[in-house]
Amino acid sequence: MTLSVEERINVSNYRLEKAKESLNDSSLLFAHKSYNASANRSYYAVLLAARSLLILRGIDPESHEGVKTMFAKEYIKTELLPATYSDYFRNLQGRRIDSDYSDYVEINELEAEDSLSKAKQFIASVEKLQIDIIRKHT
């Protein structure tokens, strides 16, 4: 099913709000020294933010790798966002996978703080770009 421009904007806004909720969760978890969970929520905040931009182009990958690949193609290679954001995405995903699936891997305070900081930067930039894209469509 193809979404109209208005429907894509609505989905984008919803996904960005969910990204901000995940970012807030990450902050709360970090404050309570729950570093693995904080890093997890930072990653999901970035994933949701990336998906919020992709849907504006009618792109809705089903996998995390698909989101990462299409995000790089549509927004990094076109220089709409800095190349460092691909590194952020990859780094945060790696931490999440390690802490969720590997035995004896614990995210320390510095790693969780770094994840949270990168997620904040990523989401702030995505939000600005989202606003610009939506203005052009309305």
User: Structural domain boundaries of the chain?
Assistant: 5-137
CATH number of 5-137, picked from 1.20.120.330, 3.40.50.10860, 3.50.50.60, 3.60.70.12: 1.20.120.330
Structure tokens at 10: 């609505």
* Whole-number Å distance between alpha carbons of 35 and 114: 11
Kindly give the confidence (pLDDT) of every residue in the chain, 138 residues in length, as a single tens digit, with 9 standing for 90 and above.
589 999 999 999 999 999 999 999 999 999 999 999 999 999 999 999 999 999 999 999 999 999 999 999 999 999 999 999 999 999 999 999 998 898 888 999 999 999 999 999 999 999 999 999 999 876
54-75 exposure pattern, b = at least 16 Cβ within 10 A, e = fewer: bbbeebeeeebeebbebbbebb
pLDDT of residue 56: 96
3-state secondary structure (DSSP) of residue 55: helix
